[in-house]
Amino acid sequence: MTPAKRASSKASDPAAPAVARPSLDSALDDEARNSTVDRALRVLEAFLVGEPQLGVLELSRQLDLDKSVIHRILATLVRRRFIEQDPASRRYQVGLRVWELGQRYRAGHQLDDLAERELTVVVGRHPYATAYLATLDGADVVVVRTVRGPGPINLYIDQGTRMAAELTCTGRALLAHLPEVQMTRLVNRRRQAGLGGRPGTALKELTRELATIRRQGYAVSRGEYIPGIGTVAVALRGANGEPVAALSIDFLIAPETQQLWDELPRELTASAEEIERVINAPG
């Protein structure tokens, strides 16, 4: 993974009419999008990116909803403990219920524990490295687990961090194993939402790079996202070859870590094969 990191110390039909009528599916989509449930979920999703606390005006502008609507939704979410209001700033943040749901999600996923065990072994051999398990959500990559190395100084990304997949080494390792039509649709949709001011790669170039990643079995970043930070990533695939998650390791690019460019692809590939053997076993 290579987003912003922290450093720390361990101390058409011609016959069709000119004006097309909305289809039943699109009408249903519009109805669903305007439902109270959908609006409440959009409010919750707003807390996935940006600042940890948001105000009513920010949410109103971001979601294009009236302030009175935002107020009503927030009041309900606060009452149900999905959202909390800071008594000092009067701004809102994610509540305890969201964390509880996240714990239930984690408890039902054997993959997380397998990955953490394998990654702990790998980073144990590389003091200044940090390992991650991440998943693909649309065209975003989301950090699920972070395993920090034993060195006195290392870099890390918080669990729950979300980034545009095409910008990261880990995200590209996952995109590489999607059908090209699906990958293109997801990436184009994500680009419409914006890439946080970062330039996107031409789609043809991205497709060629993903083909290389798929062929060699891993992805690398040599400081392209953040200068001085190297990343190696390997996708975990399900029984039908679909990407289910990815393992990745970040490390400082230095003469002392030069050998990691050769060692980490082998080690992460071995870890991925062991995890896939378990999760894809019959029964």
DSSP letter string over 7-60?
A: EEE----TTS-SSPPPPHHHHHHHHHHTSHHHHHHHHHHHTTSS-S-B-HHHHH
> What pLDDT shows up at residue 271?
95
The CATH number given to 24-100 is: 1.10.10.10
Q: Which of 102, 223, 225, 213 is nearest to 159 (CA)?
A: 102
Alpha helices (runs of H) in the chain, residue ranges in sequence order? 24-33, 36-46, 56-63, 67-79, 96-107, 110-124, 169-175, 180-193, 203-216, 260-279
> 215-240 pLDDT, tens per residue?
999 999 998 878 899 999 999 999 88
Tokens matching residue 272: 């991925």
Confidence of residue 20 (pLDDT cuts 50, 70, 90): very low
Strands 243-252 and 129-137: antiparallel
C-alpha triplet 155, 198, 209: angle, nearest 5°: 85
Class of domain 109-279: alpha beta
Distances (CA, A) of 215 to 176, 189, 280: 9, 26, 21
> 153-211 pLDDT, tens per residue?
677 788 889 999 999 999 999 999 999 999 999 999 888 887 777 777 889 999 999 99
Confidence of residue 105 (pLDDT cuts 50, 70, 90): low
> 130-142 pLDDT, tens per residue?
999 999 998 899 9
Contact 173, 219 (CB under 8 A): yes
Confidence of residue 14 (pLDDT cuts 50, 70, 90): very low
- Domain locations in the chain? 24-100, 109-279
Instruction: Identify the DSSP state of 178.
Output: S
**Sign of torsion, CA 272 275 279 283?**
positive
> 246-260 pLDDT, tens per residue?
999 999 999 988 999
Confidence of residue 11 (pLDDT cuts 50, 70, 90): very low
Query: Which residues, including other chains, have CB under 8 Å from residue 7's CB and lie 6 or more apart?
Result: 153, 154, 155
Confidence of residue 74 (pLDDT cuts 50, 70, 90): very high
Residue 23 or residue 258, greater confidence: 258
Instruction: Identify the DSSP state of 103.
Output: H
Mean pLDDT over residues 93-105, rounded? 80
Residue 13 has pLDDT above 70, yes or no: no
Confidence of residue 18 (pLDDT cuts 50, 70, 90): very low
